[in-house]
A and B are shown apart, each in its own frame.
Chain A
Amino acid sequence: MLSKEKHELLRVKAKDIRREIVTMVHRANSGHVGGSLGAADIISALYYHVMRHDPKNPEWEDRDRFILSKGHCTPVIYAALADCGYFPKEDLLEFRRPGSHLQGHPYQPKTPGIDASTGTLGIGISTGVGMALGAKLKKQDHYYYILCGDGEIQEGQVWEAAAFANKYKLDNVIGFVDRNYLQTDGYSEKVMPMDPLAPKWESFGWKVFEIDGHSFEEIIDTIEKAKKEKQPVMIIANTTKGKGVSFMEGEAEWHGKPPGKEDFEKAMLELE
Chain B
Amino acid sequence: MAIRPGTLREQTDQEVVSLAKEGSEEAYRELIRRYERPVFSLVFRMVRNREQAEDLSQETFIKVLNAVQSYRPEYKFSSWVFKIANNAAIDFLRKRELDTLSLDGSPHADTPELIEATALQISERGETQLDEVANRELGATIEVAIAQLRPEYRSCILLRHVDGRSYEEIAEMLNLPLGTVKTYIHRARNELRILLKDVRDEA
A in complex with B: no
